[in-house]
Structure 1
C-alpha cells in the first residue's frame, strides 16, 4: 500500500497542477506550524514575564521579612501589602506569599520549555524565510499555470472533440434513419 499516490505521467500540465496543489498544501501546513510556534512563543513569553515579576516580588517579601526581624518596621515596606506595620498578621501574610511565590517559581522551573530562539536564529542565519517564500511562490505558479494550461491545452480540446464526435454520431444516426425510411418506401412500392 502506497501512502503517496503516483504522479501522473500522461500529461506535463496535469503533473504541474498536482505538484502545485501538493506544494500549496505543504505551504499551508508550514504556515500553520509557524503560527503555532509564534503562539507558543507568546505563551512562553507571558510565563517568563510572570516568573520574573514573581521573583522580584519574592525578593521584596524577603527584604521586608528581614526588616521586620531586625525591628526596622519602616524599611522595605511592600506597597501592595495592606497594614505594613510589622504585626504578626503581616508576617503571617508575607510568609504565605513567600511560600506561594516559591511554589510558583519552582513550577515554572520544572516546566519543560522549547527553545524557539535557537530555531529562529537558524532560520534567520540560513535565510530560510526567503526559501519558504520562494517555495510558496513556486507552488502558486505551478498550481495556476498547471491548471490553466491543462484546461486550455488539453481539457478544452478534448471536450471539443467529444462534442464533435457527438455531432457526427447524431448526423450519422439521422442519415441512417433517412436511408431506412427510403428503403421502407422503396419496398412498399415494389
Structure 2
C-alpha cells in the first residue's frame, strides 16, 4: 500500500516538475495573420472607437510569420480604408482577405456564414427596446388567460376544503375506535 502511494506521489511530483509552463499569450512573432485579421474584425464590430487597437492588429497581420489563408493585398487596402475612416470598407476588405479561397475550378468563392469552419463576424444585434402592437396583444392574452384560470378555479372548486375533509376523517376515526 505504501509503495503504491509513494509511486503515485513520485509520479505526480515528476509530472509537475517536468511540465513546461503554458504561456497564456504567445509572443507577437508566433501569432498567425489569420487570427490577427479576425481580432481586427471583432474590434471593428464591437469597439469601433478603439482605433489604436484595431490598427495594431492590422499592422501585426503583415508582421506575422504565417500568412497562410490571408490575402495581404486586401489587408493593405483595408489598412488604407481604415486610415481614411471608412470602417465598413475596412471590415469588408478584412473579411474578404480571409474568406477568399481558390476552389478546384480556379475561381474564388466566399465562405457562407452557415457553413462549418467559416469565419464570418456578424454585426452586433441591437434589439428594439420599445413595446409594439404584438407585445401588447400577448400581454392582454396572458392577462386574460390568468383571469380565466382564476375564475374557473373558483367556479369548479370542491364543496369541501382539505381542512374540512381531514377534520371529518379525524372525527370518523375517533367514533369508530
Superposed pair shares fold, TM > 0.5: no
Higher helix share: 1
Q: Flag the structure with more relative contact order, 1 or 2, with Cα contacts below 8 A and sequence separation at least 6.
A: 1
Which is greater in Rg?
Answer: 1
TM-score bracket, normalised by the shorter chain, equals under 0.3
TM-score normalised by L of structure 2: 0.26
